[in-house]
Structure 1
Amino acid sequence: MSLLRIAGRPLLASMFIAGGMNSLRNPQAVAPVAESVVRPATERISALPDDTEQLVRLNGAVQVVGGVLLGLGRFPRLSALALAATLVPTTLAAHRYWEVEDPSGRAQQRIHFFKNMSMLGGLLITADDTGSAPSLLWRGRHAARDLRHDARLVRRSVRATARPAAAIGGGRAKLGV
């Protein structure tokens, strides 16, 4: 594993662990802000709980677990996808800069919004990173290619040995042996 992955994953994960712990410990502080995203989500997805504080805690728990796993390098692709899934509603709820009237407040929220978008980009890159190991799709394609190649070699060798064997067999039949 490269030094960049060893250092980069925990750095990327640190914000999610800190933010997730805050959401777990103090969901009532985040719930009013999250309400604008929670209501439409719970109306569309019946499996989600209706209580905003429960969803904030659930989001925080996913961020903590995903952040720890990403930081440790365990299931980095899956944990990056889970963190990306939590980052979208978090960003849409907390950093709605287009709704802020105050110019300085709007600028601050815009900075946070695009910071989160940058983190989302990093998570998507991490989710696609195979860690220098070939992906399952690549392995499958190459295994199939290798099988086709081996089958052609077997077919050629069978043809190459079949002709002389047939000639010898035909010669023996003519001789009556």
Structure 2
Amino acid sequence: MVFRKLARPLLASAFITRGVDALQHPGTRIPAAQKFSESVAEPLGLPQDPELLVRVNGAVMAGAGALLALGKMPRLAGVALTLSLVPATLFEHRFWEESDAEVKAAEKKQFFGNLGLLGGVLLASLDTAGAPGLAWRTKNAAHVASLESQLAAKNAASALSDKLPF
């Protein structure tokens, strides 16, 4: 559908531009990455270099955004963008910690804007373009296998009863 071919690149553009910006200018994101590093990266054994974390996150956003824009591996791209966006949102836009009203309003706007992007990514990555999804195909295959085994059992019973002399 033409809308799908237009919608994915439009959504992906936000991630590509943010990712490229994080790669080129990591400085403003380093304090949030430091908080992430102390809270999450250190216990998980991830690198504790905040600038490296910002650049890796930027590369993930740009790369996964490009995949989403091209319609290549949209589910994998969606997972990567989700894993990239959630920590970035939670650690960069902590509006609840702000005391200045203007800063708080700006951070709140960014936070909820990111939630909107997250919703778009989830929709785009779950979109099957009209084809049945993996869950439906799995359930359907199990149902067909069950019907086939029931039919085979009936045929076997019928064949056996035809051979019995009584």
TM (norm. structure 1) is 0.84
Structure 2 residue matching 1:49: 3-state secondary structure: coil
Structure 2 residue matching 1:147: 3-state secondary structure: helix
Change (3 A) 1:28 1:151: same
Decide which of 157, 160, 163 is 1:159's aligned counterpart: 157
Per the TM alignment, residue 165 of structure 1 is displaced from its structure 2 partner at its CA by 4.2
Determine the structure 2 residue equivalent to 1:119: 117
What does residue range 45-60 of structure 1 map to in structure 2 within 5 Å? 45-46=44-45, 48-60=46-58
Determine the structure 2 residue equivalent to 1:109: 107
Greater CA drift, 157-166 or 136-145: 157-166
Per the TM alignment, residue 60 of structure 1 is displaced from its structure 2 partner at its CA by 0.4
Per the TM alignment, residue 70 of structure 1 is displaced from its structure 2 partner at its CA by 0.5
Structure 2 residue matching 1:91: 3-state secondary structure: helix
- What letter matches 1:147 in structure 2? A
**Over aligned residues, Cα RMSD in angstroms?**
1.9
Looking at structure 1, the residues matched to 94 and 108 of structure 2 have their Cα atoms a distance apart, in angstroms, of: 8
Give CA-to-partner distance per residue, 1:93-119, whole Å, 9 cap, x none.
Answer: 321212222212211211111111111
Looking at structure 2, the residues matched to 33 and 152 of structure 1 have their Cα atoms a distance apart, in angstroms, of: 59
What does residue range 31-70 of structure 1 map to in structure 2 within 5 Å? 31-46=30-45, 48-70=46-68
Decide which of 140, 143, 161 is 1:142's aligned counterpart: 140
Per the TM alignment, residue 127 of structure 1 is displaced from its structure 2 partner at its CA by 3.0
Looking at structure 2, the residues matched to 162 and 99 of structure 1 have their Cα atoms a distance apart, in angstroms, of: 76
Residue segments in structure 1 that go unaligned for 5+ positions in a row: 171-177
- What letter matches 1:110 in structure 2? K
Preserved contact between residue 35 and residue 93 of structure 1 (Cα < 8 Å): no
% identical aligned pairs = 39
Instruction: Find runs of 4+ consecutive structure 1 residues off by over 6 angstroms.
Output: none
Preserved contact between residue 80 and residue 126 of structure 1 (Cα < 8 Å): yes
Change (3 A) 1:160 1:103: same
Per the TM alignment, residue 74 of structure 1 is displaced from its structure 2 partner at its CA by 0.6
Residue segments in structure 2 that go unaligned for 5+ positions in a row: none
- What letter matches 1:4 in structure 2? F
Larger of the two Rg values belongs to structure: 1
Structure 1 residue matching 2:115: 3-state secondary structure: helix
Greater CA drift, 124-133 or 85-94: 124-133
Per the TM alignment, residue 56 of structure 1 is displaced from its structure 2 partner at its CA by 0.4
Looking at structure 1, the residues matched to 156 and 109 of structure 2 have their Cα atoms a distance apart, in angstroms, of: 69
Determine the structure 2 residue equivalent to 1:174: none
May I ask how many residue pairs the two structures share in their alignment? 166
Give CA-to-partner distance per residue, 1:4-33, whole Å, 9 cap, x none.
Answer: 321111111111100100111122332134
